[in-house]
Amino acid sequence: GAGVSQSPSNKVTEKGKDVELRCDPISGHTALYWYRQSLGQGLEFLIYFQGNSAPDKSGLPSDRFSAERTGGSVSTLTIQRTQQEDSAVYLCASSLRSGRYSNQPQHFGDGTRLSIL
Amino acid sequence: KQEVTQIPAALSVPEGENLVLNCSFTDSAIYNLQWFRQDPGKGLTSLLLIQSSQREQTSGRLNASLDKSSGRSTLYIAASQPGDSATYLCAAMNYGGATNKLIFGTGTLLAVQP
């Protein structure tokens, strides 16, 4: 029963290193979202994919953050030169979508807990 | 800019009690409003989605209402159980832009005591 799958579940890395976070959405879901959940900021939108294109990248906090999606399926969020403030839980969600707006609920993975030492 | 607030931040009730969680939003031009629960160390589970044209949605012991004019939504949980203990988040989806992004509240941490 395939829900949204994220890997790794936990990642600890040193400041300055690059990290890649992976999201495998529910099969057939064309929309994919990345959110970040941190103690100080709550849950924040990062980027949205429709298919392989990203019409909304407005939530990415800096140019150290990038994401791609291939084959309309798996997505990778990359953080370069990590900083301590990047420590958070990174959540991925997917949904069916038709049209510009959608009443399809977003289904979330369990997230990747990222800790920057 | 949409801002979503949830009150109370934390709530503890005895098992069997009916309870209401509150969600307020500043921009009434919402497309829908969703309620989620989050268990510790887990992602979010979608509970109810209310479209802007609807006033309420029900699923089992849960009932969510939406009043766009006052910028409020409530989640009513009937006959609470210890398994209901979790963080409950509401999220608004607004018109505008190229996305279906959700704007989340800060959540209500619910503890149901056996």
pLDDT tens for each residue of B20-42: 999 999 988 888 999 999 998 88
- Return the DSSP state at B52: T
Which is higher by pLDDT, B97 or A86? A86
What digits encode the pLDDT tens for the residues B59-77? 999 999 999 999 999 999 9
Which chain B residue has its CA at the smallest distance from A38's CA?
Answer: B106
The residue of chain A with its CA nearest to that of B32 is A103
Contact A91 B93 (CB under 8 A): no
Under DSSP, is residue B59 helix (H, G, I), strand (E, B) or coil?
strand
Q: Who among B43, B100, B105 is closest to A91 (CB)?
A: B43
Distance between A87 CA and the closest CA of chain B, angstroms: 15
Task: Kindly report the average pLDDT of chain A as a whole number.
Answer: 91
Query: Cβ contact (<8 Å) for A111 and B89?
Result: no
Please state, for a pLDDT cut of 90, what percent of chain A lies above it: 74
Average predicted confidence (pLDDT) for chain B: 93
- Closest residue on chain B to A111 (Cα): B43
Are A103 and B105 inside 8 Å of each other by CB?
no
Question: 3-state class of A21 per DSSP?
Answer: strand
The set of residues, in sequence order, having a beta carbon less than 8 Å from that of A87 and lying 6+ positions away, is A38, A114, A115, A116
**pLDDT at residue A99 in the model:** 53
**Chains A, B: CB pairs < 8 Å:** 68
Beta-strand pair B10-14/B108-113: parallel
